Structure 1
Amino acid sequence: MAAFFVTGTDTDVGKTLVATGLLSLARRQGMSTLGLKPIASGCERTHAGLQNEDALALQAQGTPPLTYAAINPFAFEPAIAPHLAARRAGTTVTVDALVGHIAPLLAGRRALSLVEGAGGWRVPLNDHEDLSRLAVRLELPVILVVGLKLGCISHACLTAEAIRADGLPLAGWVGNLLDERFAADTALYADNLATLEHALPGPCLGIVPRLRDMDHERRPEAAAHYLKLPHGD
């Protein structure tokens, strides 16, 4: 059984794309899988209640499948920071509450389990806790998604330093191309990737080209072609 926490250098850098790609790759190898999105803002009202696009994508890659409520227990409508969305909903989400929900699911011992965070590593969960404390409490190695654009090297190094300071290993990182102009100079692009590989303490698990214009249902399988699975216990 291998379980990891998926974080990013920022919001909207491709955490879900990478997480679903890794789960798709594992499924293709006959492995049981689980993808969780403990807290999500930017949810839409449906006949089944508030649901989040990223959480639905993770649910689709789980085998055997789980209910939406198991995948995403805390769902909020405004597309704002999770602690602010929870405050607007008149509630507070705590690390204890998240651990109480997630720990039993991870105990099911799927071959690959991924817990996807929200935003970056230090996104607030409430007035006193960051969401990173969830990964610390569950003792999960971290997979870092680096949004490949100008400034990504500093963002990636600072995030890796924070992960290390919190006592967790970086199981690996994935580069996800956000700005095609960043890759226009192929030699410079290669130098940037080499700098990231040298600076980050974990192995590179893949470099994903721009797939945002691709149909949502096809993205996980497409991303899987560029990824390799992290080493678990």
Structure 2
Amino acid sequence: MSVYFVTGTDTDAGKTLVAASLLALARARGLTTLGLKPVASGCANTPDGLRNDDALALLARSVPAVSYDTVNPFAFEPAIAPHLAAQRAGVQLDLAGLSEQIAARLQAPRDFTLVEGAGGWRVPLNDSEDLAGLATRLDLPVILVIGLKLGCLNHARLTAEAIRADGARLAGWVGNLLDADFARDESLYADNLATLQRTLDAPCLGVIPRLSRVAPARRPEAAIAHLELPHGN
């Protein structure tokens, strides 16, 4: 069984698009899958309870099927930092409890599992712990999603340094083009990608071109052709 933690260089870097696409790619290859979103803010009130679009995208590509609560045990309504959303809801998040819950879910026999973080690597879980600690506690290799735009080289390198400084392994990275203007000069765009490949010291699992902004995570099949599974899958 292969399990990876998916993080990003920032909020809206494309973590869910990449995670859902990799799960869909694994399904296309006949693998069983599970996508987890341990903590999600920005949830909608529905007749079934709080629901998060990112978690629903992972749920739809988890086979055999599981319950929503399995995918997203902590759901909060405000679209703010998870630790602040939890505080407003009167919920105390901590790594010990969260790690125990996610470890139990990882006991399910799946060929390919992704655990998607929230925001970037350093997003707080509480006043003294980061959500990134979930990856290090569970010894999960990390897939870094890089939002390709001006400034991405700095963001990507700093995040990769933080991942390694925390004792986690960077298993690979995916570039996700956020700004079409960033790729307008094809030569300069290629030079930026080459810099990432040279400085991150981890395999590139793909580069996703600019896709329509209409719920791309709901139709990750558009990105599958641009991705490959991490080594070993």
The TM tier, using the shorter chain, reads: over 0.9
CA RMSD for the aligned pairs? 1.2
> Post-superposition shift, 1:213?
2.8
Q: Please state if 1:23 is matched with 2:23.
A: yes
Whichever residue aligns with residue 53 of structure 2, its letter is E
Q: Deviations over 1:139-189 (max 9, x none)?
A: 000000000000000000000000001111110000000000000000000
* 2-structure distance, mates of 1:216, 1:158: 27
Distance in structure 1 (CA, Å) of the matches to 2:210 and 2:86: 32
Mapped to 2, the partners of 1:93 and 1:223 lie a distance apart of 33
User: How many angstroms does 1:109 deviate by?
Assistant: 2.9
Matching of residue 45 in structure 1 with residue 45 in structure 2: yes
Q: 5+ residue gaps in structure 1?
A: none
The one-letter code of the counterpart of 2:114 is L
Q: What's 2:79 paired with?
A: 79
Q: Helix, strand or coil: the match of 1:229?
A: coil
Which stretch shifts more, 161-170 or 209-218?
209-218
Q: Aligned letter for 2:17?
A: L
Tell me if structure 2 keeps the 8 A contact 1:36–1:116. Answer: yes
Percent identity, aligned pairs only?
A: 65
Equivalence for 1:210: 210
Once the two structures are TM-superposed, the CA of residue 99 in structure 1 deviates from its matched residue by 1.2
Q: Give TM-score scaled by structure 1 length.
A: 0.97
Q: How many residues were matched structurally? A: 233
Question: Which letter does structure 1 place at the counterpart of 2:183?
Answer: A
Q: What is the CA–CA distance in structure 2 between the aligned matches of 1:11 and 1:75, rounded to whole Å?
A: 17
Instruction: For residues 21-63 of structure 1, give each alpha carbon's deviation from its aligned partner in whole angstroms, at most 9, with x where no partner exists.
Output: 0000000000000000000000000000001000000000000
Give the conservation status (yes or no) of the 8 Å contact 1:8–1:145.
yes
1:170-215 per-residue CA deviation (whole Å, 9 max, x = no partner) reads 1000000000000000000000000000010210000001124345
What is the Cα deviation at residue 231 of structure 1? 1.8
TM-score (ref. length: structure 2): 0.97
Residue 176 of structure 2 corresponds to residue 181 of structure 1: no
Instruction: Call closer, same or farther: CA 1:37–1:186 in 2, change over 3 Å.
Output: same
- CA shift in 2, pair 1:155/1:115, >3 Å: same
